[in-house]
Amino acid sequence: MRGMAFIVLLLSFGFGGEVPFLKGGRVDTPSPSQSEGASASPCPNGSSTSGLCNTGAPRRITYATTTLNWTQTTSSALTGGSPGTVVLRPCPTGVDYTSGAGYQVYITDGASSEAVAVTGGSTGSGNCSITFTPFFSHTSYTIGSASSGIQEKNNAACGTS
């Protein structure tokens, strides 16, 4: 009996798909309002990878992004399994190269993309360096936030730089 109550509770919160509503004795599935992304304009909060709202991702799921979502393109070679250092110019707000708390960056090179944990770094005049050990080797790549800027926002708010 408790299992059934749990399922009803989950469905009432909309987990497991859309929950239709009874309207005038018939089942009525609500359509998204303008604020939920019913327009064909690009989604302002990144709720889809294909560019249009409610496509490429489950309907009514919004993925948060912040202004601290950063990327930089570089060609300093990295060797898989060996510590590497990358200089970020300018240093993005919220990058954590001091705490050792597991801050990660994402490396994209078109062949072997990966998230790596930053293990150290330092600051310079308007720039900073981060040190990490990639699993794959990379030559020309883009490095950026592994959290769409969410961790960087938390780090900046808490004073971690």
Range ranked top by mean pLDDT from 3-12, 43-52, 57-66, 82-91: 82-91
CATH number of the domain bearing residue 141:
2.60.40
Give yes or no for residue 1 having a pLDDT over 50.
yes
Q: Same domain, yes or no, for 110 and 37? A: no
Do 75 and 53 have their domain in common? Answer: no
pLDDT at residue 65, as a whole number: 63
Mean pLDDT of 111-119: 95
> Is 4 part of any domain?
no
The verdict on residue 137 lying in a domain is: yes
pLDDT in tens, 94-111: 999 988 888 999 999 989
3-class secondary structure for the chain?
CHHHHHHHHHHHCCCCCCCCEEECCEEECCCCCHHHCCCCCECCCCCCCCCECCCCCCCCCCCCCCCCCCEEEECCCECCCCCEEEEECCCCCCCCCCCCCCCEEEEECCCCCEEEEEEEEEECCCCEEEEECCCCCECCEEEEECCCCHHHHHHHHHCCC
Q: What pLDDT digit, counting tens, does each position of 124-138 carry?
A: 888 999 999 999 999
Q: Which pLDDT score is estimated for 30?
A: 47
pLDDT value, residue 36 = 40
Q: What does the mean pLDDT of the chain come to? A: 75
Residue 45 has pLDDT above 80, yes or no: no
Share of the chain above pLDDT 90, in %: 44
**112 and 149: one domain?**
yes
- Rounded to an integer, the average pLDDT of 9-33 is 48
Does 75 lie in the same domain as 56? no
Residues 57 and 110 in one domain: no
Domain residues for 105?
A: 71-158
Q: How many domains does the chain have?
A: 2
- Domain check: are 92 and 138 in the same one? yes
User: Looking at the structure, do residues 51 and 104 belong to the same domain, yes or no?
Assistant: no
Query: 58 and 79 in one domain?
Result: no
